[in-house]
Amino acid sequence: MDYLSSLNEEQQRAVTFSGKHALVIAGAGTGKTRTIIHRAVHLLSQGVRPDKILILSFTRKSANEIVERIKQLQDTGSVLNLSGQTFHSWCSHIIKNNPQVFEQHDYTLLDSEDVDSLFKLLFTQKYKNNKTIDQKLYSKIQLVYSYMINTRKPLIEAVKIQECRNMSEDEASEYIKHNEPVFKEIMRDYIAYKKKNKLFDYDDLLYITANGLQQNKEAGKFISLKYEHILVDEFQDTNPLQYQLLEAFYDNCHLFCVGDDAQSIYAFRGADFKAMHNFTDIVPDSAKLYLNTNYRSTQEILDISNWLLQQSPIKYGKHLKAYRGSGIKPVIEYVYDEYSEANSVTDKILLYFMDKKIDYSGHIVLSRTLFGLRQVEGACVMKKIPYKIYGGSSLMKSRHIRDVVAAMRIIANYKDSLAWHRYLQLWNKIGPATAASLSELMINGESLEESLEILKTKKLDKRIWEVLEAAFPYTSSPSEMINIIITLMDLRFAEIYKEEWLNWRKQDFAVLEEIASSTTSVTEFITEYILDPALESSFLDADKPKECVKLSTIHSAKGLEADVCHLLNVTPYSYPSKRAVKDGENSIEEERRCLYVALTRAKNELILYGRYFTNIGSGMADFAGQSHYFFNELPEELYELNGSISQKDMENAVYKGSKISVDIDLF
């Protein structure tokens, strides 16, 4: 049994488990994937046929990687029929390969764009000219429909969770009263359309399989006997529909589920933390096993992570121990605001590169949101630090940024037909064909002024040329040009991007203006930061992660790690957020788990940045907002303090007197 010699005692106990069903609670960095791989190797060594073993993961990539690593430990021929799949691909396989069981075996699968288009089509057929109904409601109906399917929640509850979280009770009640009939009608039309045209979507794959096997016990037994062992990775991310699906396999299969309840952070997608936490109460003849030896981090990093979980009213029953032993204490560094925070992070990255010989890939920067990374991204761009975004598009590749840059490119070179094509389509009544013909006219003019005069002869929105004329004088000040374009196009962008414009897109331009301020011409700005192929590769080239700093949202950081972890904006208003406090204990505890995931990405150094000022409050200085703050009682021996702002400075920044009230009296 050489395959067991490389495992610790906890891992060996899990790998050789001989009971019916097992849930392995694998703490961060404890070798979760390694345990699944060796479990499969163990089963094969015990004579279980590879086609009787199913490995389920949440992405095709991770499923395939697990199978490939198993093949490295086994003779290739002995694992030819070993299957690694996602829940959706598995259900598709079951439906398609069992036509005698499922009527939907010959249905066509809709991709996500097809689903978007179908919801929009059905909605506009009924409500296109109805001024009392939000004309973008179809996208919300689609989200609620998917959430209902995956969580098995009724319509009203799903709408409250997905659409009414930021509303008062009266506002939510009014919203539901007004829109519930529309939700129901469009959902019914969607279901009927799919059935009539023999179509199904990704959610249907799970719903049809789970409900079909539950309703037809004979079919359930027939399908479940095809497998002996089902190994489930990232079990904490499963939702109620996936639980229902696995129920059909309790009697005839062995379930071996691996995950970490302390890393369950996808409730917004329907993941059900409580179901995993109560696994042995839900799944008959089951046992829990624990992996607590961490191979990633030093003990000091684990001490602060362990302390965080211990403060929770939920009993996680885990205490991570570092295989690597002791290291450097986590550092809490107070900074003035997001700008000084971004500079502090990027200065350290450069300093470590020069003095400590830590490569760019040795750093990960984490934030609650993609927007929270924008200042650091901007500082990386300005300081020529290569980076890769996880959890969204990079700043320079975002649609709204490219929209404004298109106008700037026209001013820099009016013969740029691609820039004209994009810019013109931002305006009403100009589609791709019209934009193409107008672009041809524009680039054939003798100058930008002449091209704009031609444009003025067309029956178009006059803002098209007014924006370019107003921005043209600022060719030597790109930051001012950006400001002019945004000011004149503000209403148009609000029409294009709806609530996204004010919620986050517009705010990105403060970062862009700061980047542009380091250049002295529009041409330099475009060449240096927009069209630079070296930067572009660092944004997008997934095959070269070793050359880049990782910038990630916490929700996209699972599986990532780095020598040095920078965690942004660790303030009372962020951990937990105001929304979580409003929603109650379940949401607060999910945010605690988010913070735990972030802390445990660090291998050697963990740096937490506390902002003196934030855009939602006075950051660390606002002691009134700290009643729920996760680090309220953090023992001093668990961290080092760094920063020029003293505790006294912070206390003095909090005004405790009465508010000034002045009436204007001129007469």
Q: What is the 3-state secondary structure (H, E, C) of 137-188?
A: HHHHHHHHHHHHHHHCCCHHHHHHHHHCCCCCHHHHHHHHHHHHHHHHHHHH
Q: Are residues 431 and 503 in the same domain?
A: yes
Question: Side chain identity at 396, as an amino acid letter?
Answer: M
Beta-bridge mates of residue 21: 286
Domain-embedded: residue 344: yes
Is the peptide bond between 533 and the residue preceding it cis, with omega within 30 degrees of 0? no
Indicate whether 115 and 88 sit together in one domain.
no
Assigned domain for 70 exists: yes
Residue 17 sits in the same domain as residue 132? no
266: in domain: no
What tokens does 238 get?
């499963």
462 and 562: one domain? no
Structure tokens at 23: 């849930």
Phi-psi category of residue 47: left, alpha or beta, with phi > 0 → left and psi -120 to 50 → alpha: left
Report the chain's C-alpha Rg in angstroms: 28
Residues 379 and 404 in one domain: no
Rounded to whole angstroms, the Cα distance separating 322 from 582 reads: 36
Identify the domain boundary among 534, 558, 574.
534
Verify that 95 and 41 share a domain, yes or no.
yes
**Letter string b/e over residues 139-172, b meaning 16 or more CB atoms within 10 A of that residue's CB:** ebbbebbbbbbbbbbeeeebbbbbbbeeeeeeeb
510: CATH: 1.10.486
In angstroms, the CA 578 to CA 614 distance is 13
- Within a domain: 4: no
Whether 508 and 401 map to the same domain: the answer is: yes
Q: Is residue 163 part of a domain?
A: yes
Looking at 534, 563, 579, the residue that finishes a domain is: 534
Q: Whose CA is closest to 212, among 100, 134, 319?
A: 100
User: What Cα–Cα distance (Å) separates residue 389 from each residue in 370, 504, 551?
Assistant: 9, 17, 5
Which segments in the chain show pLDDT lower than 70? Answer: 1, 76-78, 392-394, 527-546, 613-626, 643-659
pLDDT for 537 = 34
pLDDT of residue 543: 41
Q: What is the pLDDT of residue 542?
A: 36
> Same structural domain for residues 402 and 455?
yes
CA 312 to chain CA centroid, nearest Å? 24
Are residues 615 and 492 both part of a single domain?
no
Distance CA 550, CA 582 (A): 32
pLDDT value at residue 635: 93
Q: Verify that 167 and 139 share a domain, yes or no.
A: yes
Within-domain flag for 432: yes
Q: Give the chain's length.
A: 667
Domain total for the chain?
4
Let me know if residue 237 belongs to a domain.
yes
Evaluate whether residue 264 is within a structural domain: no
Q: Which tokens sit at 268?
A: 């917004």
- Of 511, 534, 557, the one marking the end of a domain is 534
Question: Would you state the pLDDT for residue 650?
Answer: 52
Q: Judge if 184 and 226 occupy the same domain.
A: no
Supply the pLDDT for residue 508.
85
The whole domain housing 152 covers 108-197
One domain, residues 183 and 224 = no
pTM score, two decimals?
Answer: 0.78
Nearest to 435 by CA among 423, 421, 447, 448: 421
CATH number, residue 662: 3.40.50.300
